[in-house]
Amino acid sequence: MATSTVKKASSKASAKNSEILIYLNGEFVPKSKAMISVFDHGFLYGDGVFEGIRSYNGRVFRLDQHLKRFYDSARAICLDIKMTPKEMEKVVVETVKVNKLTDSYIRLVASRGPGDLGLAPWKCPKATVLCIADKINLYPDELYKNGLRIVTVATRRNIPEGVNPNIKSLNYLNNILAKIEAKNSGCEEALLLNQQGFVAECTGDNIFIVKNGELLTPPAYIGTLDGITKQTVEEIARKLKIPTREAVMTRFDIYNAEECFLTGTAAEIIPVVDVDSRIIGTGKPGKITVKLISEYHKYTKTTGTPVYKK
């Protein structure tokens, strides 16, 4: 896809400002007209990959890392997007720009594309690529201030030998089933264990605890996504001289933590104050958590790929 295609599409669609514009296979179209084929394997089988990305203060945060993971996921499922990372970078930036956004949540998706009703991916000649930029509010504001209650659910995290959690695939049924269990238990979020019973992650977030002043999080090799927000928090913590490491943990470790919080692109950093009806620490967001939230917000405002050139 040539750069001129994006520019032509954006100028054509910019006049339609009554609803958000979606990048879809080379052009920007209004949300109400952004449609894909019912034979698209992303719709029929969850056959595709995605990235959730943020923009802050007119900059796309950690775009290079997100695009690397996006293409790594595509490679893992043998999906040829037929666009270079540089071309995709321009798509993401332009999607934010045509919607006149400064702070937004971006969803980048590549599916196998239209095929037939069979499973065979080689019958899908061209991938479907779309990009959405809009606002998001994953959790109510009061939960960021007062903390979140979460519950361990029966649904286990996908095993790496099945659907590897490091592939951000369109098949999120594992996560959705866990989310339903959490909601049925009166909680906003679920804690998933891996097949061995070790703490893995939540439905869309990595989990951290503070124990003896040290910041701990489960390693990716036990079956978790190596989140970009997780990596950012680890970097910030080290700069603040907070001891930080990955560790295999059980629920016992979570119950006896001094602090707990979740990280994710959409969630950012949200404190956890109750796990399985066990109060964590003082029952309020801890000092380290609050400090990391503050530093994370400062960092996101000052770094990233510029959307609007001065």
Confidence of residue 10 (pLDDT cuts 50, 70, 90): very low
Q: What is the mean pLDDT of residues 254-267?
A: 97
Domain limits, CATH 3.30.470.10, in the chain: 3-135
pLDDT of residue 25: 98
Cα–Cα distance for residue pair 135/105, rounded to 1 Å: 6
Q: Where in the chain is the domain with CATH 3.20.10.10?
A: 141-300
Provide the token pair at 294. Answer: 């503050």
Please write the tens of the pLDDT for every residue from 137-175.
888 899 999 999 999 999 999 999 999 999 999 999 999
pLDDT digits (tens, 9 = 90+) for 68-113: 999 999 999 999 999 999 999 999 999 999 999 999 999 999 999 9
Q: Do the beta carbons of residue 150 and residue 191 sit within 8 Å? A: yes
pLDDT, position 227: 96
pLDDT value of residue 16? 47
Three-class HEC string of the chain? CCHHHHHHHHHHHCCCCCCCEEEECCEEEEHHHCCCCCCEHHHHHCCEEEEEEEEECCEECCHHHHHHHHHHHHHHCCCCCCCCHHHHHHHHHHHHHHCCCCCEEEEEEEECCECCCCCCHHHCCCCEEEEEEECCCCCCHHHHHHCEEEEECCCCCCCCCCCCCCCCECCCHHHHHHHHHHHHCCCCEEEEECCCCCEEEECCCEEEEEECCEEEECCHHHCCCCCHHHHHHHHHHHHCCCCEEECCCCHHHHHCCCEEEEEECCCEEEEEEEECCEECCCCCCCHHHHHHHHHHHHHHHHCCEECCCC
This prediction has a pTM of 0.93
**Mean of all residue pLDDT scores within the chain:** 94
Write down the pLDDT at residue 18: 74
Question: What percent of the chain stands above pLDDT 70?
Answer: 94
> Which CATH code, of 3.30.465.10, 3.30.460.80, 3.20.10.10, 3.30.70.890, is assigned to 141-300?
3.20.10.10
* Unique residue bearing structure tokens 């019958």: 123
Q: Which residue has the higher pLDDT, 251 or 3?
A: 251
Beta bridge partners of 130: 24, 109
The residue to which tokens 């400090």 are assigned: 291
Question: In the chain, what percentage of residues exceed pLDDT 90?
Answer: 92
Neighbours of 181 (CB within 10 A): 18
Give the separation between CA 214 and CA 37, rounded to whole angstroms: 50
> Which CATH class name applies to 3-135?
alpha beta
205-255: pLDDT as tens digits: 999 999 999 999 999 999 999 999 999 999 999 999 999 999 999 999 999
Query: Which pair of structure tokens corresponds to residue 306?
Result: 């510029």
Amino acid occupying residue 152: T
CA distance linking residue 216 with residue 14, whole number of Å: 46
